[in-house]
Structure formats: C-alpha cells, structure tokens
C-alpha cells in the first residue's frame, strides 16, 4: 500500500507561524522587563524567560521561513524574514550575554526589544497591510509618519470632469488597494502577483495573465473575485468580497479592452452600469443639461435690480451660479433698446430667453448673438424673418429654438445646418412647409423639427 506524499508538508509546518510567533514576543519582552528588576532575586526568572524566548523565537523563525515560500517575495517579506532570524539569534545570545545582569544585560535587552518590535511591525504590515498601524490614527499622526489621511469615503463628483473619468484609476485601483495589495503589493507578492500599480497587473503571476483583454469570462481576475466565499481560491481570502458593482466594473473594463486609460463615456456606458454607479458611488452619468454645466459669475444684485426696473423678469437657474432665465414681466412690452441693454449687462448670464409675442423685428433682434451662453430661445409671434435665423448660427450652445407664428419660410433650412448645437426646432404656423421640414430632418437626424403637421398628413394652413 502506497502512502500519500505530503508534497506541501513544509507549508503545513509553516502555517504554524502565526500560532507560535506570539510566544517569543511575550517571553523576550518579559526578559527585558525583568532585567530592570532591582536586586538579584529575579535572575532565575530572567534566565528562564530568555531561554523560552530563544526556543520559541527559533521555532517561529523556522515556521516563518517555510511559510514565506508561498508568499512570492517582496521587500517587506525579505526584511521581516531576516529580522525574525536576527531575533532568534539575538535571543540565543541573550542567554549567555545577560547571565550576570548589569548594564550590558539591560542594553542588550533594549536592542533585542527594538529588533523584535521592528520585525513585529513588518509582520503586521504583511498580514494587515502597510497602513494598518496608522489607518485610524489622528490626522496629525498620519501626516507625521507620511501616511495621508484616508479620504476615499468621500468624492465630490461636482468637481470632476465627467468626460474624463478613467475607470481603472477611479474604481479598480482603489478596490485593489483596499482588498488585494496587502498580499500582492511591494512587501509581499503571493503567487508571484503584484497589484499595487497597473503595470504589475498586466504582468500577471505564477498562474499566467490576470486577464484576457476583451474576454472577461476567460480572465482569472473575474473568476477569482466571483468564486463562492468557501472556495479556497476565492479572492480576497479575508475581509469583505468585492461588491457586485465592482465586479461589473471589472467585467466592463476587460470587455472594453483592459486599457488603463479607458474613460467612461456618458453615452456608451451601459444603462445598468450607470444605475450601479449612481447607487454605490453617487456618480450620475446621465447626460447633463447645458444649464447644469455652464459656469458664469452671478450678477451683482444692483444690476439685477436695474434689469427688473427695465421690465425684465429674472429667474436664477443655478443654486450657486449665475445662469438666468429672462423674459418680459407679464403684460409688459420690450423694445430693441431694452434687449440691447440686457445684452450689455448680462450677455453671459442669460441662458434661457423668452421673447414671445413681443413687437420685435430683425433689427430689434440683432443683439441676440451677443448672448454667448444662450441655450433656449423663444421668439414665437415676433416679426423676425430668415435674416435673424441666419444670425443665430453664431450661438454655439443654442439647443432649442421656437419660431411659431413668425415670418420665416423654407429659406431657413439653408442656414440651420450651421447651428453647432441645435436639437429642437418649432415651426408651427410659419411659411416653412412641412415637406421642406421633413426633407431637412431626414438629412439632419440630430435635429427634431416640429411643424404641427403629423407625418404623412396634408400641410396645415399657414399664416400669410
């Protein structure tokens, strides 16, 4: 009968290291303390403490050396291993050097305690992460030791350009640092894998590449973070597993090519992933209106009062910004001079402008291109013609234009392609024909043209 081969017997023995490593700490610190005990009555206890400390330190060093074989290396592991060996050697020497007590024994004990403390600190860093000791320390202590206070729990997305969010750096690297770098960082690389920087993730580990670009289902990374928690290969092995959102972000990143420079696209990001980002990170990737993104200084209150005295009704569109919606006061009449005054005082601040049913012609409306942030413009019932429509092409942010009951005709369709941002055009009861509007809309699908005539219906009567 053939007995099973214990191929990993050294690792079996090595894993007793966490169990025995606390014994030399207790015995050796006891020996150091007793060295300062007055008189010679404590000498027998001192010798016993040094002896037990030396034996247990040697056993711990041997177990630790064997355990290091599965850790993959790293600077922290290197120094922890050799400091552990040094503690074992120093504790053996302590049996003899401190046999008579005195100043030499006290000084020797302090040296052993210092080496023991450093070895223990590096061991704690390997087990709990390099920032474990300072993670919950006061901010002033963290700064003194060069450890930046953790601010990962708060992210003010309002200060972030939503068109430049790198998926890897923003979401995946922090997840790695939180749950993976402890065992796969600069200090220790279990399985030959290092994850504290993107270039190491690309290098893979002993089991080969960590991921296959474009194929998340063939990627070890996805497999390991989705294994059942009772599976010995599940990652991370301790602490909280990756959240569903983190796993979905990882899958999406790999599916999109596993490029660390990959940026989330407001239009291309899947809707279900947008929902997860909004729920778990407070990141809203839904397209934002222009008024939410425009940055203009608020007008002085005195200027606002002047505009109100001219007959303008003002509404602030941003809680902390200067964007305005402007229209005549109910029942009021606005002249071309009033519009020129508005342009002189608030050319940048006017984002929505309503001039419906005002007795304004092309000459009166000439100041409109000066409103550089104009986004919605209502000119229903005014006396404008195609001349004003041609001028409005200068408005880079104009998305919505209302021209009901105006004198424009089919000639406007030669000017509209020059509008940089136009999305909605309203032409009810104008001289623009529904046929010309339909032809223009088919050639410019980004612009919705409303003529008040359903598709396929006869043309409605138009104002002459």
Domain boundary among 88, 111, 145: 145
**Does residue 460 lie in a domain region?**
no
What's the order of all strands across the beta sheet hosting 448-450? 312-316, 324-328, 350-354, 376-378, 400-402, 424-426, 448-450
- Confidence at residue 142, expressed as pLDDT on a 0 to 100 scale: 59
What would the mean pLDDT of 271-286 be, rounded to a whole number?
A: 89
Q: What pLDDT digit, counting tens, does each position of 38-71 carry?
A: 766 677 887 787 788 778 778 877 877 777 766 6
One domain, residues 124 and 208: no
Alpha helices (H) in 204-327, listed in sequence order? 220-226, 244-255, 271-281, 290-293, 301-309
Q: Are residues 277 and 306 in the same domain?
A: no
* Percent of the chain surpassing pLDDT 70: 83
Taking each helix axis from N to C end, the angle separating 43-67 and 75-97, rounded to the nearest 10 degrees, works out to 150
User: Do 187 and 119 share a structural domain?
Assistant: no
β-sheet bridge partners, residue 166: 263
Q: Which two tokens stand for residue 48?
A: 């016993």
Do residues 130 and 198 share a domain?
no
Q: What is the pTM of this model?
A: 0.51
Q: Is residue 199 part of a domain?
A: yes
Stretch 223-252: mean pLDDT, rounded? 88
The predicted structure's pLDDT at residue 151: 42
Q: For 147-151, what is the mean pLDDT?
A: 48
pLDDT digits over 95-119, tens only? 877 777 778 878 887 888 888 778 7
The tokens describing 186, both together, are 């600069």
Q: Does residue 289 fall inside a structural domain?
A: no
For residues 311 and 445, membership in a common domain is answered with yes
Same domain, yes or no, for 186 and 242? Answer: yes
The answer to whether 400 and 423 are in contact (CB under 8 A) is yes
Using a pLDDT cut of 90, give the percent of the chain over it. Answer: 45
Say yes or no: 306 and 445 in one domain: yes
**Residues 382-406: what's their mean pLDDT?**
96
Q: Based on the domain organization, do 73 and 182 belong to the same domain?
A: no
Residue 464 lies in a domain: no
Flag whether 159 is in a domain: no
Do residues 277 and 305 both lie within one domain?
no
**What is the total count of domains within the chain?**
3
What are the tens digits of pLDDT across the range 329-342?
999 999 999 999 99
Picking from 229, 247, 281, the residue at the C-terminal end of a domain is: 281
Residues 314 and 446 both lie in one domain: yes
In a domain, 338, yes or no: yes
> What does the pLDDT read at residue 265?
87
pLDDT at residue 9 is higher than 60: yes
> Is 158 a domain residue?
no
**pLDDT per residue as tens digits for the range 348-372:** 999 999 999 999 999 999 999 999 9
Question: Cis peptide leading into 64, omega within 30 of 0?
Answer: no
Check which CATH number belongs to the domain holding 400 and give it: 3.80.10.10
Same domain for 311 and 422, yes or no, is: yes
Tokens of 163: 């068109």
Task: Say what the pLDDT of residue 296 is.
Answer: 94
Which of 98, 115, 145 represents a domain boundary (last residue)?
145
Strand 324-328 versus strand 312-316 pairing type: antiparallel
What would the mean pLDDT of 415-444 be, rounded to a whole number? 94
Say how many C-beta atoms besides its own lie within 10 A of residue 461's C-beta: 7
Q: How far is residue 375 CA from its own chain's centroid? A: 30
Give residue-wise pLDDT tens across range 128-144: 656 656 555 665 565 56
Three-class SS state of 378: strand
The boundaries of the domain holding residue 366 are 301-450
Cβ-proximal residues to 2 (8 Å cutoff; 6+ apart), any chain:
none
So what's the pLDDT on residue 365?
97
296 within some domain: no
Q: Are strands 312-316 and 400-402 parallel, antiparallel or unpaired?
A: unpaired
CA distance 234 to 3: 30
Q: Give pLDDT, residue 53.
A: 75
Q: For residue 1, what pLDDT is reported?
A: 43
Residues 437 and 343 placed together within one structural domain of the fold = yes
Q: How far apart are CA 302 and CA 308, in angstroms?
A: 10
């Amino acid at each position: 009968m053939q007995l099973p081969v214990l191929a990993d017997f050294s690792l079996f023995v090595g894993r007793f290291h966490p169990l025995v490593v606390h014994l030399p700490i207790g015995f050796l610190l006891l020996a150091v303390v007793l060295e300062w005990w007055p008189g010679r009555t404590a000498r027998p206890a001192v010798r016993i403490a040094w002896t037990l400390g030396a034996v247990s330190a040697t056993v711990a060093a041997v177990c630790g050396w064997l355990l290091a074989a599965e850790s993959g290396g790293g600077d922290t592991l290197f120094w922890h291993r050799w400091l552990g060996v040094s503690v074992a050697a120093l504790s053996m020497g302590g049996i003899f050097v401190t046999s008579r007590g005195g100043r030499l024994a006290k000084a020797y004990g302090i040296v052993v305690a210092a080496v023991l403390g450093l070895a223990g600190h590096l061991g704690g860093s390997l087990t709990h992460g390099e920032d474990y000791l300072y993670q919950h320390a006061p901010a002033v202590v963290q700064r003194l030791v060069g450890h930046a206070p953790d601010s990962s729990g708060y992210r003010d997305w309002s200060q972030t350009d939503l068109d430049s969010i790198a998926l890897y750096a923003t979401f995946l690297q922090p997840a790695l640092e939180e749950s993976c770098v402890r065992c796969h960082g600069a200090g220790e690389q279990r399985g030959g894998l290092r994850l504290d920087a993107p270039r190491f993730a690309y290098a893979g580990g002993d089991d080969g590449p960590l991921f296959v670009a474009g194929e998340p289902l063939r990627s070890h990374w996805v497999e390991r973070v989705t294994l059942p928690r009772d599976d010995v290969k599940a990652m991370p092995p301790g602490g909280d597993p990756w959240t569903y959102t983190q796993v979905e972000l990882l899958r999406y990143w790999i599916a999109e090519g596993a490029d660390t420079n990959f940026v989330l696209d407001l239009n291309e990001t899947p809707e279900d992933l947008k929902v997860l980002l909004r729920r778990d990170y407070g990141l809203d990737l839904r397209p934002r209106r222009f008024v939410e993104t425009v940055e203009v200084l608020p007008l002085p209150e005195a200027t606002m009062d002047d505009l109100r005295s001219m007959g303008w009704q003002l509404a602030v569109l941003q809680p902390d910004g200067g964007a305005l919606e402007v229209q005549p006061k109910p029942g009021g009449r606005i002249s071309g001079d009033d519009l020129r005054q508005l342009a002189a005082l608030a050319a940048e601040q006017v984002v929505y402008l309503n001039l419906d049913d005002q007795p304004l012609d092309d000459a009166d409306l000439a100041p409109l291109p000066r409103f550089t942030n104009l986004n919605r413009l209502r000119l229903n019932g005014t006396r404008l013609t195609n001349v004003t429509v041609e001028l409005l092409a200068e408005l880079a942010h104009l998305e919505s234009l209302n021209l009901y009951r105006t004198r424009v005709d089919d000639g406007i369709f030669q000017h509209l392609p020059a509008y940089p941002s136009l999305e909605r055009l309203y032409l009810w009861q104008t001289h623009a024909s529904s046929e010309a509007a339909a032809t223009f809309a088919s050639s410019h699908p980004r612009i919705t043209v409303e003529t008040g005539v359903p598709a396929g219906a006869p043309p409605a009567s138009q104002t002459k």
